[in-house]
Chain A
Amino acid sequence: MKVYVINGPNINLLGTREPEIYGYETLDDISEKCIEIGKKKGIDVKFMQSNYEGDLVSWIQDAIKNKIDAIVINAAAYTHTSIAIHDAFKSFSGFKVELHISNPHLRESFRHVTYVGPAADAVVAGLGADGYSHVIDLLPDLPIKVN
């Protein structure tokens, strides 16, 4: 199984940005953990992050082209604004998970809207940085069509 884990703006600051909300783990820590779990479970995990909306769109398109089986996306702030990501995500026919470290619905009202959620199969939020590994760990159990 091939999985892209796509991360949006400011997630590169994990560990230093408001750690009381997002935790002390860095993105490298999380990425390492996911790749390690992936190896154990026979999943090829590719971890990526960008501050640019277009990169996220292009990576979703790459996932379509490269016949990736599942995408886990933390679009961060673009979750609440990006119709472009919504459209790209809709075009991807593999399994789709929207993920957030904190629970956006418990925060400011401008974070209550998700453009990613309606295009996703599932939404996982508020489980901290561990949310990533919990999702990767579970993927082999799900009835995902593997290319």
Chain B
Amino acid sequence: MPTREIQNMKKKLLILNGPGLSDLSVYDEFYGKLSLQKIEEKSQAVCDELNLDLDFRQTDDEDELFGFLLKDSEKFDAVIINPVGYSHALTAEFARYRLAIKTLTLQKKPVTEVHIANIFKQGSDITKPLQVPEGEMGFVSGLGVYSYVIAINAISKKLNKLA
């Protein structure tokens, strides 16, 4: 069926939100009152416009998070991840995160890390380096829900270039 063919051509995007992101009431309201549902709705609207098939997930379970990244990654053409603190703390989770991202980038899948707030503003020690994984990866921090919007726009453009 033609409609099915068109659906099959849609590129699949996974947006993955890490632990704690179900409650966004702690965030500054510069970009308006935030909730994960609002982020999902906005992401869905942008994906609809760009003809992307969106799978939007959040988990508080670390094992599940890395499972989504490693086991399910085959099903997706690109990934946007909000890894909360995993990307900027030298912890065991960071090592796992780094490995998962490396696996994705080795498959040449566009990956972009997003943060709602500007993570460089949070610490007072500005000379402390940010720990991020290897591989090619986009990074957007501090634009609230628009961090996701810009990441989706950039990934769509990248997928079109790869096609």
A residues in contact (CB < 8 Å) with B:
86, 103, 105-106, 109, 112-115, 117-118, 120-128, 130-131, 134-135, 137-138, 141-143
Q: How far is the CB of A21 from chain B (nearest CB, A)?
A: 10
Which of A124, A137, A141 is within 8 Å of B139, CB to CB? A124
Contact in complex: A122, B140 (CB < 8 Å): yes
Contact in complex: B137, A118 (CB < 8 Å): no
9-residue interface stretch from B11-19, B55-63, B76-84, B124-132:
B124-132
Contacts of A138 in B (CB 8 A): 143, 146, 149-150, 153
Contact in complex: B132, A120 (CB < 8 Å): no
Contacts of A112 in B (CB 8 A): 129-130
Q: Could you give 21 example pairs across A and B, Cβ below 8 Å?
A: A103-B136, A103-B139, A106-B132, A106-B134, A106-B135, A113-B126, A113-B129, A114-B120, A115-B126, A122-B143, A123-B118, A123-B141, A124-B140, A125-B139, A127-B112, A127-B154, A128-B158, A130-B157, A137-B153, A142-B146, A143-B30
B residues in contact (CB < 8 Å) with A:
30-32, 112, 118-121, 123, 126-143, 146-147, 149-150, 153-154, 157-158
**Chain A at the B interface: mostly helix, strand, loop or mixed?**
mixed
Contact in complex: A130, B154 (CB < 8 Å): yes
Which of B31, B123, B136 is within 8 Å of A143, CB to CB? B31
Contact in complex: A126, B118 (CB < 8 Å): no
Contacts of B143 in A (CB 8 A): 121-122, 124, 138, 142
Which of A105, A114, A127, A141 is within 8 Å of B146, CB to CB? A141
Contact in complex: A134, B146 (CB < 8 Å): no
Contact in complex: B121, A118 (CB < 8 Å): yes
Contact in complex: A117, B118 (CB < 8 Å): yes
Contact in complex: B150, A134 (CB < 8 Å): yes
Alpha-carbon separation in the docked complex, A128 to B141 (Å): 16
Contact in complex: A143, B32 (CB < 8 Å): yes
Contacts of B136 in A (CB 8 A): 103, 106, 126
Alpha-carbon separation in the docked complex, A118 to B128 (Å): 11
Residue of A nearest to B127 (CB): A113
Contacts of A142 in B (CB 8 A): 31, 143, 146
Contacts of A128 in B (CB 8 A): 158
Q: How far is the CB of B159 from chain A (nearest CB, A)?
A: 12
Contacts of B128 in A (CB 8 A): 113
Residue of A nearest to B126 (CB): A118
Contact in complex: B139, A126 (CB < 8 Å): yes
Contacts of B139 in A (CB 8 A): 103, 105, 123-126
| A106-B134, A106-B136, A138-B150 known; A114 vs B126 contact (CB < 8 Å) | yes
Residue of A nearest to B153 (CB): A134
Residue of A nearest to B142 (CB): A122
Q: How far is the CB of B131 from chain A (nearest CB, A)?
A: 8
